[in-house]
Chain A
Amino acid sequence: MSNTKDFIVNQLKEEISGFKAEVSEKSVGRVLKVSDGIALVSGLSEAMMSEILKFKTEHGEITGVALNLEENLVGAIVLGDFTAIKEGDEVHATKRILEVPVGEAVIGRVLNPLGEPLDGKGKVETNQFYPVEKIAPGVITRASVKEPVQTGIKAIDAMIPIGRGQRELIIGDRQLGKTALAIDTIINQKGQNMKCIYVAIGQKESKIANIVAKLTEAGAMEYTTVVLAGASNPASLLYIAPYAGCAMAEYFCDKGEDVLIVYDDLSKHAVSYREISLLLRRPPGREAYPGDVFYLHSRLLERACKLNKDFGGGSITALPIIETQAGDLSAYIPTNVISITDGQIFLEPDLFYKGNRPAVNAGLSVSRVGSSAQIKAMKKVAGKMRLEAAQYRELAAFAQFGSDLDEDTKNKLERGKRLYEILKQDQYQPLSVAKQVIIYYSLINSLLDDVAVDDVRTFEAGLYKYADLNDEVLNLITERKELDEEIEIKIKKLVSDYKATIE
Chain B
Amino acid sequence: MKISARQYAQCLYELVSSESEDKIKKILPKFVVLLEKHRALSLAPAVIAAFTEIWNKEHGEVMAELTSARELKSEAKEMIVDYLKNKSGATEVILDEQVDQNILGGFVLKYNNKIVDASLRSSLESLKNSLKA
Known: A15-B131, A21-B127. A27 touches B113 (CB 8 A): yes
Contact B126 A27 (CB under 8 A): no
Distance, CA A21 to CA B114, complexed state (A): 19
**Residues on B with beta carbons closer than 8 Å to the beta carbon of A46:** 113
B39 → A minimal CB distance (Å) = 22
Q: Is A19 an interface residue (CB 8 A)?
A: yes
**Residues on A with beta carbons closer than 8 Å to the beta carbon of B117:** 23, 26
Which residue on chain A has the smallest CB distance to residue B87?
A: A25
Q: Is A43 an interface residue (CB 8 A)?
A: yes
Which residue on chain B has the smallest CB distance to residue A26?
A: B115
Q: Is B91 an interface residue (CB 8 A)?
A: no
Number of interface residues of A (CB under 8 A): 17
Q: Is A28 an interface residue (CB 8 A)?
A: yes
8 A Cβ contacts from A1-43 to B: 15-16, 19, 21-29, 43
**Residues on B with beta carbons closer than 8 Å to the beta carbon of A21:** 122-123, 126-127
Distance, CA A244 to CA B20, complexed state (A): 60
**Residues on B with beta carbons closer than 8 Å to the beta carbon of A71:** 6
Contact A29 B114 (CB under 8 A): no
Distance, CA A43 to CA B111, complexed state (A): 11
A84 → B minimal CB distance (Å) = 18
Q: Is B116 an interface residue (CB 8 A)?
A: yes
**Residues on A with beta carbons closer than 8 Å to the beta carbon of B114:** 25-28
Q: Is B104 an interface residue (CB 8 A)?
A: no
Contact B116 A45 (CB under 8 A): no
Distance, CA A23 to CA B123, complexed state (A): 8
Contact A23 B115 (CB under 8 A): no
B70 → A minimal CB distance (Å) = 18
> What 15 additional pairs, Cβ within 8 angstroms, besides A23-B118, A27-B114, A44-B113?
A15-B130, A16-B127, A19-B127, A22-B126, A23-B116, A23-B117, A23-B123, A24-B116, A26-B114, A26-B116, A28-B113, A28-B114, A45-B112, A45-B113, A46-B113
Using CB atoms and an 8 Å cutoff, list the residues of chain B in contact with chain A.
6, 87, 110, 112-118, 122-123, 126-127, 130-131
Q: What are 11 A-B contacts defined by CB distance under 8 Å? A: A21-B122, A21-B123, A21-B126, A23-B118, A24-B116, A25-B87, A25-B116, A26-B117, A28-B114, A45-B112, A71-B6
